[in-house]
A and B are shown apart, each in its own frame.
Chain A
């Protein structure tokens, strides 16, 4: 199937195999995945001679993919006027999650809070890199000699293959970003191209993002089978629980991050350097940048009762 999509105003064609399309939309189902059809369908595009160039661009490309995906999540929770909010077609005039630096906090929190065994994290990356198989290495990272990668059509899949081959420790934010992107391509295969070049998830509309998370939270059988097919023992068959846990974790931390002080917090002084965006959004303590020591809120005691005792039936007065 050939789909047409717009990237920076330029029409681009992508050809998805019928099998890819069916897998991404979940129609082909778990059996095909468990049977080993899916991972083997992926293909490398970069000649060996260009692999040193690929190594140069791998880290920034992965960072961009992670950053853009969590920016897509941050504005799903708390939209603003930024390009990510524009991509989801829900914007607000007031700043939102991106301006509050929620994407950085989300990735940091997930990296530290969710401790996936290395082998499991790598298995998840292997499983979900197919979601960005057709996502090119972002143009903004290429130039000079690196342009050769563009000429051979190198994709984020090549970058991830290289990372896995190097047996790198994988922080949780990467496989979870890939999970969101894989789910995004299930919801709309054409999301592999769009205004946010490195993240299919960030290219979804606001409602489509919800549908992607529906698949994650409901442990879509195709996703479960994909994880379990790749997972090492004894962690096989734990995918449903993992999806429900990480789906909620990502959704619950996103609004927390958007309304927190993280973006303006100085760890060395334990103070905000200026007023957090979330405080303005919620009209919290107007004019302050630091927590207050108290408020003139005391109204007295209900029915003027200042103390109570054990009830008479239990021996009280």
Chain B
């Protein structure tokens, strides 16, 4: 019997594994996708080869990507869910953005604008309580203030032009802009200062080389030990730490990591009529088809907002209030493109290094992309094709013309120079809504069992969510115009859950939550959730990974105290950075893959 089994090696699971391995527990991590042990050879960074949902190396599917299809999920609406299997999970795609949540989404908030947030679904504890965990994770990753390139300079010019103040802190206190706090190492040596590839290898270059491929997984600078790569996706940070815990923690114990292991069932016993106890998992080897079972004192679900509910429902665990899978929040994201007459460096540098926060409304962030992903973004809309049809949704505002896809000759014109664009991503503070949810699909099951169906209402979101989204889209257009854009285009995305939260939410009330205030399942002892699904709400708009990781760290203390008789450590110890020489030594010794 293991001490702890963690399901999933994405943004949250490796945090749990690293923290509990440092306490000396025997931890097994099961990941449904492959383990990327040598990305410099495995990843091309070409856009289709990386991102194709069919057979890209960052797809959601089994490891043998050219031989077998991806795992299909039913989406009964205009939408695209960007799931990802493999070590690192969706942090392969993420831009490393690490803002803290809005204080207004926690239950101790007493600001004058308290009603501006999703007041019915606040976190069941206070913002101040989470700050030590934020600081712990920020030191571990580490999180650093983003460097600036041309596209950031253009964006900041727009923010200054509309009169926004600068936020010099990690916390979000008022409407303001700032460089991102990013889990990306600042450029050092030759990084960011040359495109001579002979000069861009470690240790001449350290940190971000401004290659522009955050979305395709980061392995820069070449030849750097895995834990010293620029972007701190978990396979560059927490996974190396969990696999070298015996080196850097006094009582540390190396985690057992098993890739290609798709968990198909939580094993549990009925403790009483209304309660269950988790005792292990059943998983399927995606390469051989063999079934395995393993038991543990504690099971932690970290498979993501779509797969956690799938696994819970397929395991026939209790769901007395029906909230498993409900409350699927996604920031109701949207996209605007500014077309400039000047060089913007859109395709170069960290993909997002600048942001604006509007407490009670959401956030905006500048995003740079290479051309095919630009095409994807300009082809995704709930408002039809510009100049032909608007899907009954003629959205007008501070942008130019109606919202909608940019297509045909217009697309070729807009994309005639990818480095004369600036994109803005709209991150709406959206409400937890029970009818946006994951259920089991009526489509046939796949080799891993019944598949999930993700239902998102899109246009029928709450009035507050829709108003926030329009507010933010207009502010984005104002900033782009103030920055000097010749033309501003709004896409009006359909649901494109890049940020997903709260499908297994923690909450104060047992009526509308799955987890208690410690992220343990309300009706299943010894079963915890540690990923974005555990979040109580959409955080007010900030990108979720940092809060997911801080909350997972807090959850680890609870697991250790309740089931292993240990003491908490975040308030009494100093965090070890994932850049620590002891981690590097373990990586160089081949212990991290």
In the complex, whether B563 has a CB less than 8 A from a CB of chain A is no
Docked CA distance A282–B374 (Å) = 10
| A10 → B minimal CB distance (Å) | 29
Extra 15 A-B pairs, beta carbons < 8 Å, given A238-B76, A270-B46: A108-B54, A113-B53, A214-B391, A247-B78, A248-B494, A260-B375, A278-B371, A282-B374, A292-B211, A295-B209, A296-B192, A297-B149, A299-B153, A300-B148, A301-B148
Partner among B49, B166, B193, B197 whose Cβ is within 8 Å of the Cβ of A296: B193
Among B179, B373, B405, B408, find the residue whose CB has the most chain A CB atoms closer than 10 A.
Answer: B408
Chain A interface category by residue count: 35 or more
Which A residues lie within 8 Å of B409 (CB)?
A: 79, 90, 92
Please indicate the chain B residues that have their CB under 8 angstroms from the CB of A79 in the complex: 408-409, 412
Partner of A307, one of B145, B379, B419: B145
Q: Which of B127-135, B307-315, B534-542 sits within the interface?
A: B127-135
* Also in contact, A283 and B48, with CB within 8 A (given A217-B78, A297-B150): no
Does the CB pair B170–A308 fall under 8 Å?
yes
Known: A255-B376, A261-B49, A281-B415. A77 touches B407 (CB 8 A): yes
The chain B residue with its CB closest to the CB of A254 is B379
Contact B76 A245 (CB under 8 A): yes
Contacts of B408 in A (CB 8 A): 76-79, 90, 206
The residue in A207, A235, A294 that gathers the most chain B C-beta atoms within 10 A of its C-beta is A294
Partner of A259, one of B78, B187, B375, B381: B375
When C-beta atoms are compared, the residue in chain A nearest to B195 turns out to be A295
Q: Which of B370-398 contact A (CB under 8 A)?
A: 370-376, 378-381, 384-385, 387-389, 391-392
Task: Known contacts A78-B411, A248-B78, A259-B375; decide if A301 and B147 are in contact (CB<8 Å).
Answer: yes
> Which residues on the B side are within 8 Å of A38 (C-beta)?
none
CA distance A256 to B375 in the complex (A): 5
The answer on a CB contact under 8 Å between A113 and B171 is no
Chain B residues within 8 Å of chain A by Cβ, number: 101
Chain B 125-158 interface mask (CB, 8 Å, partner A; 1/0): 0011001001100000000110111101100100
What is the CA–CA distance of A242 and B179 in the complex, to the nearest angstrom?
A: 41
Minimal Cβ-Cβ distance residue in B for A270 = B44
Contact pattern, B 409-430, Cβ under 8 Å of A = 1, otherwise 0? 1011001111100000000000
Residues in B whose Cβ lies below 8 Å from that of A92? 409, 412
Q: How far is the CA of A315 from the CA of B419 in the complex (A)?
A: 42
Q: Are B221 and A293 in contact (CB under 8 A)?
A: yes
26 contacts between A and B (CB under 8 A): A77-B375, A78-B375, A79-B408, A79-B409, A92-B412, A117-B444, A207-B387, A235-B442, A251-B380, A254-B379, A256-B376, A258-B375, A260-B372, A270-B49, A292-B197, A292-B212, A295-B348, A296-B193, A296-B194, A296-B195, A297-B192, A298-B187, A299-B150, A301-B179, A310-B135, A310-B169
With a cutoff of 8 Å between Cβ atoms, the chain A residues found around residue B209 in the complex are: 293-295
The reply to whether the CB of A147 lies closer than 8 angstroms to some CB of chain B is: no
Contacts of B194 in A (CB 8 A): 294, 296
Mark out the residues of chain B between 174 and 213 whose CB falls within 8 Å of any chain A CB in the assembled complex: 178-179, 181, 186-187, 191-195, 197, 200, 205, 209-213
B576 beta carbon closer than 8 Å to chain A: no
Take A254-B379, A281-B416, A298-B193 as given contacts and tell me if A235 and B54 are in contact as well, using a CB distance cutoff of 8 Å: no
Judge whether A284 and B197 touch: CB under 8 Å.
no
Q: How far is the CA of A214 from the CA of B374 in the complex (A)?
A: 23
The answer, yes or no, to whether A50 is at the interface (CB within 8 Å) is no
The smallest C-beta distance from B362 to any residue of chain A, in angstroms, reads: 20
Contact A214 B407 (CB under 8 A): no
Question: Is B36 interfacial (CB-CB < 8 Å)?
Answer: no
- Residue pair B46, A261 in contact (C-beta under 8 Å): yes
A83 to chain B, nearest CB (A): 16
C-alpha gap A161/B14 in the complex (Å):
53
Residues of chain A within 8 A of B44, CB atoms compared: 270-271, 291
Is B55 an interface residue, CB under 8 A from the partner? Answer: yes
Is B565 close to A, CB under 8 A? no
Verify B147–A260 contact, CB threshold 8 A.
Answer: no
Are B127 and A314 in contact, with the CB atoms below 8 A? yes
The smallest C-beta distance from B104 to any residue of chain A, in angstroms, reads 13
Q: Are A298 and B147 in contact (CB under 8 A)?
A: yes
